[in-house]
Amino acid sequence: MQNDLSTFWRGPRWTLAVLLAILGMLGPFSVDTYIPAFAGIATALGATPVEMQQTLSAYLFGYAFMNLFHGALADSFGRRPVILWGLVMFTLASAGCALSQNITQLVLFRTLQGLSTGAGIVVSRAIVRDIFPPSQAQSLMAQITIFFGIAPVIAPMMGGWLFVHLGWQAVFWSLTIVGVLLWAINLRFLPESLPAAKRQPFHVGPLMRGYGTLLSDPRFLLLALASGVPFNGMFLYLLSAPAFLGDLLHLEPTQFFWFFLATIGGIMAGSWTSGRLAGRIPPKRQIRHGFLVMCVTSILNLAANMLWSPHVSWALIPISLFSYGWALMVPVVTLLVLDIHPEWRGLASSLQAVVGSIANGLVAGVIAPLVMHSGVLLATGSLLLMLIGLMAWIYLHHRWPEIGRHASEQ
């Protein structure tokens, strides 16, 4: 049984979606905001490019590692304490980054930032499922995805402006202010969604059993692959943006916003459609529609790149359509992940985030550098990443046909 929304949240439902989306986008926002200041930070701290890359790697490592525990902590101590303490840690770490006097200090505080920011996206997903039955949860998850998609557009512009006008420290001071404001807002407005009676003891034994239960369940692993890997079909283009947009499409840096508009426009449109379809068609049919859009788009994108040289007049359209297909199906798959073992929703959200983080890291560190200078290779990589998720879903569909046939009532 879910909590009564009227007793949990007194404002309009969209305001809850905004709050949970902001908590979820804190992680990517913390990455995208400081990237425009890379050169300035390196000069100010006397850091090499390799050392600057370590500030990003340290953040991503901390983010992925702590994702293993945010959900377990939330299942044991409640959703609200994990979010509030995570925001305290994020705020202090952001201030530490701003005050860093050398690259070693910056790497340390970036690690602490990464350890804290995963709490938002992991716990916010669990909160949604704590409160709402499936169709309403899907609708809210779609709204969250819409707001979540704004972060990659705002963050680089905000970071670049702060760096140019106020210096690189201002980027991290702004994140410090964001942390303080979010802590105050959540302290005042976000109630607890997990009653004490439903919490799991935080002991090593039960925690390991929870991990074992999820990791040994092929349904969970297949759903995590179906939701986490296809995202990289568009993330690959984001990682390759300087080469793809500058070298292949011959756009000036001031014109890069067209790429972000195309991507975010697709995500927002797909999320809106997903919310409209919630409760109207079976979940698995909506997932099929999303994969169909991504599959057809990926094939046409590869064919176009094999026939013609990439050109701005058409090369951004497949990315936008792919983003639409991904956003159409991912809220549904995420809810299915959380409902495989309802007693471990926080832990399931954690492990789903870990699967996505591992996939993102492999794409960023291995695949993107190999394909970013070729339109054909980029399209091929995007297609193959989507196919991994598609194959996972097809196998799940045939092995456990009941999953997604009807919305869960738990």
Structure token pair of residue 193: 């969604």
Residue 108: per-residue pLDDT: 94
Residue 177: per-residue pLDDT: 96
Distance CA 27, CA 60 (A): 9
> Is residue 409 over pLDDT 50?
no
194, 79 in Cβ contact below 8 A?
Answer: yes
Closest CA to 283 of 145, 141, 146: 141
Query: pLDDT digit string (tens) for 177-234?
Result: 999 999 999 898 888 888 777 777 777 777 777 778 888 999 999 999 998 899 889 8
> Is residue 324 over pLDDT 60?
yes
As a whole-number percent, the residues of the chain with pLDDT over 70 amount to 93
Distance CA 232, CA 229 (A): 6
Task: Count other C-beta atoms under 10 Å from residue 48's C-beta.
Answer: 10
Residue 149: per-residue pLDDT: 65
| pTM of the full structure | 0.74
Distance CA 304, CA 253 (A): 25
3-state helix, strand, coil in the chain (%, to 5): 85, 0, 15
Residue 276: per-residue pLDDT: 86
Residue 1: per-residue pLDDT: 44
Query: pLDDT digit string (tens) for 28-63?
Result: 788 778 877 877 888 899 888 778 777 877 887 788
335, 129 in Cβ contact below 8 A?
Answer: yes
Average pLDDT of every residue of the chain = 84
Query: pLDDT digit string (tens) for 147-188?
Result: 666 666 677 778 878 888 898 899 999 999 999 999 999 898
- Interval 306-314 mean pLDDT: 94
More confident call, 400 vs 3: 400
Pick from 264-278, 323-337, 347-361: least confident: 347-361
DSSP string for 340-409: HSGGGHHHHHHHHHHHHHHHHHHIIIIIHHHHTT-HHHHHHHHHHHHHHHHHHHHHHHHHSTTTTTS---
Distance CA 19, CA 189 (A): 10
Distance CA 287, CA 320 (A): 18
More confident call, 305 vs 72: 305
